[in-house]
Structure formats: structure tokens, C-alpha cells
Structure 1
Amino acid sequence: MTNTFPLGGDLTVNRLGFGAMRLAGAASGIAVLRRAVELGVNHIDTAAFYGRGTVWANDLIRTALTPYRDDLVIATKVGPLPGPDGLPTGRAAADQLRGLVEADLRTLGVDRLDLVYLRANGAPGSESISDRFAVLAELRAQGLIRHLGVSHVDAVQLAEARAIAPVVAVQNLHTADRTLLEVCEGAGIAYVPYFPLGGGIYPLEGLDDEAARLGVTVAQVQLARLLASSPSILAIPGTGSLEHLEENIAASELDLSAAIIPILWS
């Protein structure tokens, strides 16, 4: 199994990365980030709306990791806005996206963002993303963004985006349809499942025997199975625990039984 992926053709990332969503709730967030990079993580997924109270993932990333290593790729996403409850349930209009990108540049302390996803609202396929993606394409042309991705989309929305500018990554729920994954495989696009360990949305079933055979956790088997199921998949498990971080990173080296590798896709 190849453990790296040529993101956009010019950024080599390790396929097991790190998701920053849970960092703001962990006292050990800075230590976890630094240890992740020490263990070889060079792909961190974040967003300006990942935060709790006065603690925000982007601030932790900048504090922990600047000056950034040359090979470190930081991906962020724009599109959602805070709703009345403070959760990212609102929808940024096309003319608001530049401000969101500029805010990420400031909080992360960079001159150019490596990868920016447009996060679509509603169920995948429920809206056109052309107008908003075109704004990000223009920011890419201006040098503020290196690569573009789309998130929470279906195949039609992905095609919409690709007609405007190159798409290097799709970030969807793990149980998205197999057809979309195959499109990504054929086009050299990374498929980055969020909630790679279920996130409480779907159970991790049928993995206990394999975990017992290998002497590892079910979560480790799930991460290894994701990576083994397609060379286009990048896994971004998140944690605020140093112990869980070590376990997650070790999952990329597991030698799974062939029977456990196939994944059920809806």
C-alpha cells in the first residue's frame, strides 16, 4: 500500500493526516499538533469555524507549528457561517468568500493557503456551487490559494466545479457513494472522508475479530481499512489525546486480512 498521495500533482502528503476539529476542546492541543508533525503528519485539515469559546484551531496550529515546515500542507474550508446558535449552519454568499479566505490567511499566518475547500450547504446535490466556486477560482488565480477542493458534494457538483477550475480533493462523509470515489480515482483527485471513525453517525461494525487478531483497537482497523480500500483516500482522524494520536498514526502500518479491506458504500 502506498502511504503517500500527490495532492494536486505537486504536494506529496502522507495519506494519514490530522483533522483539527477537536483541538479547541483539548488542553493538550498544541502538544498534539507538534507530536503529529514529529510522527510524520504533513497534512492538517482545519477550518475557521473549528473552535470553542475563545480557543480556535487555526490559532493553535499557528502557535504550535510556525515557522511551518516546507512539506506541511494545511487545508481549510469556507462556505459555512455561524448561525444564531453559533454553529456553522449559515451560508456565506459568493461576495463573502474573499473575506473568509483572507481571515484564514491571517489566523494561520500564511501568504497563500495550500488547499481551500468550498463546503456546500444542504444535502449533496441540493444547490449549484458554480457562483461561489468561481470566486475561489479567482482567488486561486490571484495567488491567495494554491489548490481548490469541494466538500459535501455529489458528482454533479464536482463536475460543476471542475468545469471552472481544477479540483484536487473532495471531502465528503465516508459513506458517500462509490461512484463519486471512482470519479476521484480516475481523475487523480484525493477523496478525504470526514468522520473517518464514524463520528457517532455510523457504527464501526464487524471489525472486532480483526482488532483482536492484530492486538489493536477497532478504530485502528477502521483507519487502516479506509487507506487500504483506495489509493485515493486520505484519512484525517482528529483527537486531542496524545495516546490516541499515537494509535492513529500506527494504523497506517497495519497488515490487514484481505477479507476485512472491502468497504460498504451506499
Structure 2
Amino acid sequence: MKKPRSEYQIIQDVINKSISEEEYFKKRTDSKDRLSIDLPEASILKKHPHIYREFLLSLSVEGRFRILLAKDLLGIVQTKLRGKYGVDNNTLAYLKGNDTRAEVLPEYTIRPIRTKWSRLLDVKSSLAIISRIPVEWLLHEKPLMDDKWNLNHFYAVDNVYLTPVSFTNYLQKFNEYVVKNKDSFTSTRPNFTFAYDIRPIVLIHDSKHIYLLASILEQGGFVIEIFGINQLMNLDIMREILKPFGKLKVGYCKTVVQNHYNIQIIPEELVNAKHYPIEFIEI
């Protein structure tokens, strides 16, 4: 009997073209071309960005979308993208390679991510930020490689600007809601850290912009991630803004951009250590 290949071996098979992209997805999708099983490779990709980088770049643009939209990497089940943000199924199908154009925008409960044909950059930009990859990787089959982190795509995201006051109000409001209602959140993987909301933010502090990713966790609490340059200076600002949430745990995560790291901030009193992001490295 042939020994099953490990997750790492499967990733390397894709990178080295030992198996085709079509064959890789065929083993993981149902008759409607949906990723129907968990993606065990996700933990390796999150912990090892250099492998994550090679793996994504070995896929087509459509293949990258299929991977990045998997709940194990996105942190949200795809079916919730419609209800929470108004991302309709036609848009998701188009991004994965099916030439279907969204015409009717569905309702949403948190905030809309625009999905009209002319505004697909909003969805792509949001996904690039959440996934910590250059947006060019979602626009071009063979993107130009640059070791600098470009943050311009933050400005393509709707509802991206917040002041310190509106930012803390947002965190308090949604954390209180999650704590009150977390028993109603159903999941086939109760021990997996799913997000109730994931939001790219440009925080307007005095005359400067601070680029953030806020993840409100279904289990309660949140994780704040700082993007871009001057992160240590911005960390001091964020410590002050986040004082109402108690003691903070500070760490970092690696990214696919070589030698670039993002600082992550977690309120210790609100987040159980077992729900820290798998990629979180404590300082």
C-alpha cells in the first residue's frame, strides 16, 4: 500500500510541477468546484512564508484565489462572505476562473465590499491585505518581484478610514457583540480560530496614516496587525490607543516579502492563548 504524502510533500509537488494545478484542486473540490475539505497545508503556509510565496506563485491567478479563499487561510467560511459583506457567489466564481459577472449586489450585515464589475479591485485589495501578499499577485500571472511593501491598495478598500475614536468604538462594539453571542456561532471546527470580522483600516492619527488589519475573533477579543514602515513608532501610538483594553501581548508575523515583518497586538485579557494566530511570534 502506497504511503500517503505529507502536506509538505504535496506543497512541494505543486511547486515543482510534479502534479498539475488541476490535479491538486481536483482532489480537494466537489462536483461544484468548491473546496469541500479542510486545507491541512494551511498551517505550513502560514508558518513558513517563503514556502507560501513559492506555492502561490506556482499557481495561476485563479488558483491563488481558490487557495486564499479557503477558510483555513481566510479565517472566514466563504458562505459568510455574502451575508457579512455582500460578496456574491458570481463574483467568487469569476475570481476563481469562471467568467461570470455579478449584476445584483446582495444584502450585508457588517459592511459592503463592492462587487460590481468596475470595483473588483476592492475585493482583490481586501484579500491581498488579509492574506499579507502584494496585490499584484492577484492581478498578474507573473508579477514583478519587489522586496518593498506597497500599501497603495489600502486606499482601494471601501470604508477604510477610521479615527482613533471610531476605531476603539468599532473594537468595543463588535467585541461586546461577539462575547454576548459567541455561543450562537456554529462551526464544524470549534477549535479553529475563525474571525467574526476582518477589516483593513487606515487609521488617521494627527496628520499621518497608520495601516492596520483588525480581526475580531468569534471566540472573543481581537488581533491588530500593523503594516508598512515605521512600525515601532506606530506601535507606541497603538499602545496608547488600545489602553482601554488592558494589558497587551506584542509579537510579529513574517510575510511573503523577504525580511519584512508585521507587528501584531493582542489584548491578553480578551483572547485565550490557544486562539492566538498560528503565525504569531511573541517578542
TM-score (normalizing by structure 1) = 0.28
**Over alpha carbons, which structure has the higher Rg?**
2
